[in-house]
Amino acid sequence: MIKNKTHERQGKSITNFSLTLPDPHSDLARQSLKDPYIFDFMTLSEPFNERELETELIKHLEKFLLELGTGFAFVGRQYHLAISDKDFYIDLLFYHLELRSFIVIELKKGDFKPEYAGMMNFYCSVVDDLLKHPTDHPTIGMILCQTKDRILAEYALCDINKPIGISEYELTRALPENLRSSLPSIEELEAELSGIHLEDSGDE
């Protein structure tokens, strides 16, 4: 947790919890989310799609749960919801033991888009109606995307009535600047390898 700077990432998500959850539950919910999430335990590389990301996370479920944090319990993947003779599928569904809330997670490739918030609001409403126990707190939505524009995200959440958080995810943690500057560039590596190849050819 220290190595991955968990303390620096907790409570950094863009959320509307202060408007949709009562105190102190809103503070607890905000501290339960991170930004960004680091998925460096996977071997996934570009190009990939959302389903491949989801599959890899489930393959490494134990490490995924550790990255999500304390209290998350896995409920299901592609969780089926039947509404008005139509089928909908939640990417990942969790239950948070401390928050006493269902957590709906949607995985998105690329930039955050405002329409994601509307769909998440819909999912949270359905889970509240069909799955939530009367003693549970409101369902919380988590939208995980590769990048987000903060202003766009804040506008997307400002009139949403369900508690939703928006966070980024990274497949690899960026190297610190001082370490990155000490490493050779791709051009330097290619030049070095070319030199070795020429020397080997000369020996023959």
Write down the residue that tokens 């888009």 correspond to. 113
Sign of CA dihedral 21, 25, 26, 29: negative
Q: Please give the pLDDT value at position 46.
A: 81
CATH class, domain 6-177, is alpha beta
pLDDT tens-digit map of 2-42: 444 455 567 579 999 999 999 999 999 999 999 999 999 98
Distance CA 40, CA 3 (A): 12
Helix (H) or strand (E) holding 94: strand 86-96
Q: Please give the pLDDT value at position 45.
A: 79
Q: Please give the pLDDT value at position 184.
A: 57
**Measuring CA to CA, which residue among 105, 173, 121, 117 is closest to residue 149?**
117
pLDDT tens-digit map of 62-100: 999 999 999 999 999 999 999 999 999 999 999 999 999
Q: Collapsing DSSP states into helix, strand and coil, what is residue 79?
A: strand
Residue ranges covered by each domain of the chain: 6-177
Supply the pTM of this predicted model: 0.80
